[in-house]
Structure 1
Amino acid sequence: MAGPGAARTGGRATLRVDKWLWQARFFKTRGLAAELAESGHLRINGQPTRKPGAGVGEGDVLTFPQGARIRVIRILALGERRGPAPEAQTLYLDLDRREEPSEPLE
């Protein structure tokens, strides 16, 4: 599912992290995603990066702040475009999904 902007690094398809975050709809603009990377608050597989052009691919884990929470996600696919939200949600697995209890705790 790698699109025309994907590159091959070490035998696997990769995409710029700023572009992937924008396509997956974590940020409204690609510029905001690039600012996050440049700020040093983005980790790829546990390693901090300041490069918006850092390559990411399937299986990589991204950790970054979004609003008041820290997001930890695993990339499942690179995607081909910035599509609708349901399509974007198929690109990643939220590793920090907190389930709400169905009944109040006493």
Structure 2
Amino acid sequence: MKTITLEVAKIGKEDLPYEALIRQCVNATQPNQPISLDEQRRRLRILDALDALDEADNLVLEDEDAKHLAKLVETMPWAFVNKAFVTFSDDVIKECRG
């Protein structure tokens, strides 16, 4: 089991919770490429875990799901350059693989 601390990223004056950024990474797909049923199930397990945060609002994932989340975050094509995306990605990947 892996526990991911859900922080809040700052982009300008806007707060972006890690929970929202994780959801964005999990829901992102490649344009014009279908997503398999197996891949949908893997991503849905992560989304289900987000919907069932622990009492400290941490994300708790099985090891395989944590590895998959790290891959999704690592390959996320962000729409623009911002240090907050790098910090978020580094934090989540470290906790998923740590």
Q: When the two structures are superposed, what TM-score results if normalisation uses the length of structure 1?
A: 0.30
Higher share in strand: 1
Greater per-residue helix proportion: 2
Q: Looking at both structures, which has the greater relative contact order when contacts are Cα pairs under 8 Å and sequence separation is at least 6?
A: 2
Structure 1 or 2, whichever has the larger Rg, is 1
The TM-score with structure 2 as length reference comes to 0.31
